[in-house]
Amino acid sequence: MEIVEVNDQLGVMYSLKGMVQNIVALEIVDRQIYSIYFVRNPDKLKYAFSQKYNGYI
């Protein structure tokens, strides 16, 4: 589990055996959680994994 920035929002990335399994992004409005987004799409997770190791996440 790792805290990351996702689309300029706070997020948590879960990995298993070095591969990203899930990303949870929190949309914060007025210091409160407004929305929670779960990313499980393999194509989007593959992109996030590549960004992590290129220094973007």
pLDDT (0 to 100) of residue 5: 83
Q: Where are the alpha helices (DSSP H) in the chain?
A: 42-52
Q: What percent of the chain has pLDDT over 90?
A: 26
Measured between alpha carbons, how far is 39 from 31 in angstroms, rounded to an integer? 23
Query: What pLDDT, in 10s, does the model give residues 5-22?
Result: 887 888 898 888 877 888
Q: Which residues, 6 or more positions from 9, have their beta carbon under 8 angstroms from its beta carbon?
A: 25, 26, 27, 28
